[in-house]
Amino acid sequence: MKTTLKISLAALLSVAACWSAAQTVSAMRGSDVPAVDKAPEIQPYLGSKPGGHALIPRTFQQQPPLVPHKVEGFDDITSEDNVCLDCHIHKEVRGQKIPQVKESHLVKPVNPDAPVIDKARWQCNSCHVPQIDAKPLVENVFKGNTAAK
C-alpha cells in the first residue's frame, strides 16, 4: 500500500509541475519596452598631449596609475610595438621626469641600461586607462582611501 501511495503522489506532483510550467512567463519589467536603450555619447579624454597634466591621484591601495593624457592617435599596442615604452621605459624624456615602468613589469634580473618588459605585462592599457569627464551611469558612493600611494 505504501508503494502505491508513493507512486500516486509522485505522478500527481509531476502532472502538477507540468501544468504550472505550461503557464506563460513574464518579465519583471513587463513585456512592452517604451524606448530602446541608447549607448552613452563618446566623451573626449581628459588631458592633452603627454606631459601636459599632473598625475591623477590614486583612490585605493594597489590601484594602477591612471593615464593623465590623451591616447587618441597612438598606435595600437602589440608585442612588437608599444608606444607607451617610447617614454615610460626611461626615467626622463626630453628633460621631463616621467613615471617609469615599475620593476614588477620587467624581466628579472633588471638591466638598468636596457630593461626588458615581461610579456605578461606588455598590454599597458589592460590596467592603465585614460580618464574622461563623464557623468556616472549609476550612482556611486565609493569613498576612496586618498592617503593610498
pLDDT digits (tens, 9 = 90+) for 9-33: 888 777 777 665 556 666 666 666 6
Under the banding of pLDDT at 50, 70 and 90, the label for residue 147 is: low
Q: What percent of the chain has a predicted confidence (pLDDT) above 70?
A: 85
| Residue % of the chain over a pLDDT of 90 | 0
pLDDT at res. 86: 84
Task: Using the predicted structure, report yes or no on whether residue 7 has a pLDDT greater than 50.
Answer: yes
Instruction: Compute the C-alpha angle 25/31/33, nearest 5°.
Output: 150
**For residue range 78-120, what is the model confidence (pLDDT) as tens digits?**
878 888 888 888 777 777 778 888 888 888 877 777 788 888 8
Greater confidence (40 vs 119) lies with: 119
Predicted local confidence at residue 148, as pLDDT: 44
Neighbour-count burial for 53-62, b at 16+ CB within 10 Å, e otherwise: eeeeebeeee
Per-residue confidence (pLDDT) for residue 106, from 0 to 100: 87
Sequence-distant contacts of 6-11: CB under 8 A, at least 24 apart? none
Query: For residue 46, what is its C-alpha cell?
Result: 581628459
**Which 8-state DSSP code applies to residue 49?**
S
CA dihedral for 92, 94, 98, 104, sign (positive or negative): negative
**CB-based contacts of 136-145 (< 8 A; 24+ apart in sequence):** 137/40, 142/59, 144/58, 144/59, 144/60, 145/59, 145/60, 145/61
Reference 118, options 128, 127, 108; nearest CA is: 108
Angstrom distance (rounded) from CA 123 to CA 79: 8
Query: Which spans in 22-148 are helix H?
Result: 84-88
- Cβ-contact 65, 99 below 8 angstroms: yes
